[in-house]
Amino acid sequence: MTAQATYYIIRALVALVAIPFHEAGHALAAWLLGDATAKREGRLSLNPFAHFDLLGTLCMVFAGVGWAKPVSTNPRNFKNPKWGMALTALAGPVANLVLAYLGMVAWKVMYYWAPVNNATIYIAMFLRYLVLMNVSLAVFNLIPVPPLDGSRILLVVLPQRIYFGLMRYEKYIMIVMLAAVWGDFLDTPLYYLNNVVWSLLGAGTGYIDKIAYAVYASSLGAVI
């Protein structure tokens, strides 16, 4: 198998984990806040086929930006519709960041303690791309542009007249956004934002590095 084929297979496997986690995060938040619409539709699930959109998944694997089936919500079921919609939208990126953190923990544990063989090399590659894709999904979806999750969070801070006026052009704005992504116009800001999040995850898992160094020093008879 070529290196490129391996790369795309691993990205596909990661997408089948990351995308359902994101969508299930929305569904779980909506359910906890009082709206069971997504739960009734089977979206409170990590089954990839519950969220699967073929074109969106292919774009995620080959272009780095994709989508799943939208999670349905009914704002009237929330005690506070404005905050309910915002928190439900925020839950998707938060779910990706949680998964990225867990992926980095597993990746570091493997780096320090797993034996080196073909199986662990592929698992480490999977975990690395798991962190990368989840960070990218979280950062990209927090951009405050419709129909991304960040635009739903805007509902909390913008007057409703301005917000819903903006939503009228949601489809056109999304086309412009995708063109900007595929034209590489957002590469630089997304690169720096992803690096900031990666650094925070690295700092948040720094205790694993300290444990590994302490174990190594102890094996040499050093006193820390």
Residue 170 designated active-site: no
Question: Per the residue annotation, which of 23, 27, 85, 181 is the catalytic one?
Answer: 23
C-beta separation of 37 from 30 below 8 A = yes
C-beta separation of 63 from 14 below 8 A = no
- 125: Cα within 13 Å, side-chain hemisphere: 17
Q: How far apart are the first and last CA of the chain?
A: 45
C-beta separation of 141 from 148 below 8 A = yes
Peptide bond into 147 cis (omega under 30): yes
Cα(138)–Cα(145) distance, integer angstroms: 14
C-beta separation of 98 from 29 below 8 A = no
Residues involved in catalysis? 23
